[in-house]
Amino acid sequence: MIGTLRESLAASPLPRLEARLLWQRVLGVPHAWLIAHDADPLEPAQVAAYQALEARRLAGEPIAYILGVREFFGRDFQVTPAVLIPRPDTELLVECGLRAVRALRAPRVLDLGTGSGIVAVTLALERPDAQVRATDCSAEALDVARMNARVLGAKLLFSHGNWYDTELGSAGFDLIVSNPPYIDAQDAHLGRGDLRFEPAGALTDGADGLQALREIVQGAPDHLAPGGFLCVEHGWDQAAAVRSLFLRRGFADVASERDLSGIERVTRGRLPAGFS
Ligand SMILES: C[S@@+](CC[C@H](N)C(=O)[O-])C[C@H]1O[C@@H](n2cnc3c(N)ncnc32)[C@H](O)[C@@H]1O
């Protein structure tokens, strides 16, 4: 019989951090409160609510979906099973985009495959003068992105459709960013761990993992202003192939950037001013 938080934490098969996060959600309190009140008696309804969340976690459901929130670039983003769970690696994509437009006033920015909106919303908040548009082929994902933009106070436009085949407005963009699905459809990891719960269309392009990247790189020059930048995230072993796609499409200053693990994770390039 569980009577206190201390007893519950001691009895839980979950890692201590996860059990604490679930208790914070059940009680609606910060971490410090849990420490100060770990000997307080719990209500049976609170114990039952905790046990329901614990059972979901033990069944493998990602903690971000159970809590409905994940931190990215210092802000809390709402997440649902309709969107990819934000990854820390994607902060590199945001940093790459911010560097690309740092010398521009009121840059025009396009985020392809926005998911929960982490990239577009962060760019709009870090560069309040930017005109940001975000797209996705999933209407459910766009609903989540819109909610995050509203809650975090970011101003941006959203469009629904297949990559560039959507309402983009007339302007050439100074920056296109994308973290597209890039896992090979045959990759066994898709059937393991957290990935089992994430939307398949956010993880894999249904082909060799480079198909979405090919389409994005191929279409970018038609939507970039002269001198505009394209920055894309990709898999740990795809950097050379992605650089090759950029170079064959006529991009200049092509380079890949490494994430905190030293892996080439983001590739960028600039459309030459005289591109034709
Ligand atoms: C890897 S997730 C990235 C989500 C978010 N930008 C992030 O970094 O967390 C890829 C996103 O691309 C979207 N997507 C997949 N295929 C697409 C397509 N053909 N056109 C537009 N969006 C697509 C998915 O719905 C998903 O939201």
Q: What is the pLDDT of residue 98?
A: 98
Q: Which helix or strand (DSSP H or E) is residue 45 part of? A: helix 44-58
**Is the CB of residue 82 below 6 angstroms from any atom belonging to ligand 1?**
no
Atom of ligand 1 nearest to the CA of 141: 27
**Is the CB of residue 209 below 6 angstroms from any atom belonging to ligand 1?**
no
State both tokens at 236: 């740990």
Tell me the CA–centroid distance for residue 269 and ligand 1, in Å.
20
Tell me the CA–centroid distance for residue 64 and ligand 1, in Å.
18
If one looks up domain 82-270 in CATH, what number appears? 3.40.50.150
Tell me the CA–centroid distance for residue 181 and ligand 1, in Å.
6
Residue 136 known to bind ligand:
yes
Tell me the CA–centroid distance for residue 115 and ligand 1, in Å.
5
Q: What is the pLDDT of residue 136?
A: 98
Q: What is the pLDDT along the chain (276 residues), one digit of tens a residue?
A: 778 999 999 999 999 999 999 999 999 999 999 999 999 999 999 999 999 999 999 999 999 999 999 999 999 999 999 999 999 999 999 999 999 999 999 999 999 999 999 999 999 999 999 999 999 999 999 999 999 999 999 999 999 999 999 988 767 999 999 999 999 999 999 999 999 999 999 999 999 999 999 999 999 999 999 999 999 999 999 999 999 999 999 999 999 999 989 999 999 999 998 887
- Output phi, psi for 219, to 5 deg: -85, -15
Round to whole Å and give the CA distance between 144 and 262. 31
- Please name the residue that has the structure tokens 């001198």: 227
- Please name the residue that has the structure tokens 């609170």: 46
> Closest Cα to residue 159, out of 99, 173, 151, 75?
173
Q: What is the pLDDT of residue 1?
A: 73
> Closest Cα to residue 93, out of 14, 158, 24, 176?
176
CA distances from residue 266 to 83, 179, 229 in whole angstroms, order as listed: 21, 9, 13
- Can you spell out the DSSP letters for 173-217? EEEEEE----B-TT-GGGGSGGGGGS-HHHHB-SSSS-HHHHHHH
Mutate to test the pocket of ligand 1, among 89, 119, 138, 177 (most ligand atoms within 8 A of CB): 138
Task: Indicate the residue type of 24.
Answer: Q
Write the CB contacts of 260 (distance below 8 Å, at least 6 apart in sequence): 88, 89
Residue 88: DSSP 8-state: G
State both tokens at 212: 């979405």
Domain residue ranges of the chain, discontinuous segments joined by + = 5-59, 82-270
Task: Indicate the residue type of 195.
Answer: L
Round to whole Å and give the CA distance between 90 and 265. 9
Q: What is the pLDDT of residue 274?
A: 81
**Is the CB of residue 115 below 6 angstroms from any atom belonging to ligand 1?**
yes
Give 26-31 contacts, CB < 8 A, sequence gap 24+.
26/50, 26/53
> Closest Cα to residue 75, out of 152, 150, 179?
152
Contact 22, 52 (CB under 8 A): no
Round to whole Å and give the CA distance between 174 and 249. 17
Q: What is the pLDDT of residue 164?
A: 96
